[in-house]
Amino acid sequence: MQKKGIFLISLSLLFTFILFVFAKDDPSVLIRKPVLAVAQISALFGMILFSYAFLLSSRFSFLENIFGGLDKIYKLHQISGRLSFILIITHFIFLVFNYIQNTSILSMLLFPGKTLSYNLGILSLWSMCFVLSAILYLAIDYQWFVRIQSFFIIPFSLGVVHMLLISSDSSRYLPLTIFLILHTAIAYVSWIYKALLYPIIGPRFEYQVETLKVYSEDVVVLTIAPCNKKMPFLPGQFAYVRFNSIGVRKEFHPFSIASSPSENSIRLAIKTSGDFTTQLKTLKIGEKAILMGPYGRFCERFFGRKDAVCVAGGIGITPFLGMLHYLKDAKLPLVKNLHLFYSVKNWQTALFQRELENISYIEKNLSLNVIHTEKGGRLNVEMIRNTLGELKDKLYFLCGPKLMMEDLAGQLKRMSIPAKNIIYEDFSYK
């Protein structure tokens, strides 16, 4: 993830701390009452990070310029959300410890009573725990995960009103109040855009199914053609796709684009691993599809001068197909060496081997290595080194199952390959 995004969040937290200190008439109280100080600053930090969690889940296209690809944004969204929860729990625990001998205040902290500001704080904490527990412990699919996440606006709103009503620095010191309200406003704008406006005014393109082929290996390959305006995209990017078909649920799911931007139609190769993707087998020619996007920065460094090693596991070949076809179609001068490792179970599951061989025949600097795991075992870095000889001074692009990517990335790091030279996208939502 890009450093300027991390810097932006760090700057917000730093200003929060500075304003928190200036809000004190006597800053020495922070030293004299450290437990209360920790309780207060953890609440402020928690609400700032809570606001960023909404922003990072909004799908505003400009965020990729600040934080990196959408997968990096979502990972940071997960981190900021979890840290926010930890900080808010810390706020509660330290308040209890601070007022452990004051039974009247302790009672207001633990049980709903007559004081609205305290009641809102209790409701905010428990509703946050409830929503988070539903996400973490219920066996839910991607769409239910997205729906439940939108309910975080409830504990956030309760926390905001609690923060403004409670007699504390956040309500007494105007610069701090304004600073918190600005972050709160960003959170609400982000939530409204994602929950209500994105399907209407987001980057929306209408396509229709042009061809469809179902393979016995539980893979659906389809091409979709633009009904009017073509979606501009970079090779290796992805889009959120929804099909308007009677037999397919009306849900948006992310799919990598397996075709070149120079082509009019878009090709999608999809593994039928769940209810939604299995329903895609019933699609009919001419049925409509809505695309939202594009997103992703997977190819950002692919077209540079540094040698690249591409590792694809099964259906993870899809972004590489788009990148390699663009390389061929645009007739870009290939001044580096490209090494593609295509890992599949056996020759029956190597659906795109012939296509890749045709590209490698044209692009002389591209070497294709097809790994059949049934015979040779799982692909590992030792196999790659035996083929290439030298591992250093190369970029490594990984796409496939999450465990495969994490395992290979770990092996590469142990071989002293810098993390910045290992590029992969991870869209696991938990």
CB-CB contact of 381 with 407 (8 Å): no
Q: For residue range 383-400, what is the model confidence (pLDDT) as tens digits?
A: 999 999 889 999 999 999
List phi, psi (to 5°) of 261: -60, -20
The pLDDT, as a whole number, for residue 40 is 95
- Higher confidence at residue 57 or residue 425? 57
CATH class of residue range 204-295: mainly beta
The pLDDT, as a whole number, for residue 335 is 58
Q: For residue range 207-217, what is the model confidence (pLDDT) as tens digits?
A: 999 999 998 76
Burial 209-241 (b: 16+ CB within 10 A, else e): bbebeeeebebbbbbbbbeeeebebbbbbbbbb
CB-CB contact of 71 with 296 (8 Å): yes
Nearest Cα neighbor of 6 from 93, 72, 94 is 72
Domain ranges of the chain: 3-201, 204-295, 308-424
Q: For residue range 143-200, what is the model confidence (pLDDT) as tens digits?
A: 788 888 899 999 999 999 999 898 888 888 999 999 999 999 999 999 999 999 998 8
Q: Give the single-character DSSP code of 111.
A: S
Fold identical between 3-201 and 204-295?
Answer: no
C-alpha to C-alpha distance for 11 and 193, rounded to whole angstroms: 25
pLDDT of residue 134 exceeding 90, the answer is no
User: Which CATH entry fits the domain spanning 3-201: 1.10.1060, 1.10.700, 3.90.640, 1.20.120?
Assistant: 1.20.120
CB-CB contact of 423 with 397 (8 Å): yes
pLDDT of residue 429 exceeding 70, the answer is no
pLDDT of residue 370 exceeding 80, the answer is yes
Q: How far is CA 140 from the centre of its chain?
A: 18
Q: For residue range 254-269, what is the model confidence (pLDDT) as tens digits?
A: 999 999 999 999 999 9
Nearest Cα neighbor of 354 from 368, 338, 371, 374 is 368
C-alpha to C-alpha distance for 332 and 260, rounded to whole angstroms: 13
pLDDT of residue 359 exceeding 70, the answer is yes
C-alpha to C-alpha distance for 366 and 337, rounded to whole angstroms: 6
Give me the amino acid identity at 158. L
Give the full edge-to-edge strand order of the sheet including 422-424: 366-372, 338-344, 308-313, 395-399, 422-424
The pLDDT, as a whole number, for residue 427 is 66
The pLDDT, as a whole number, for residue 30 is 92
Question: How would residue 374 be classed by pLDDT, with cut points 50, 70 and 90?
Answer: confident
List phi, psi (to 5°) of 88: -70, -40
Q: For residue range 4-17, what is the model confidence (pLDDT) as tens digits?
A: 899 999 999 999 99
CATH no. for 308-424: 3.40.50.80
**Coil, strand or helix: which one is 221?**
strand
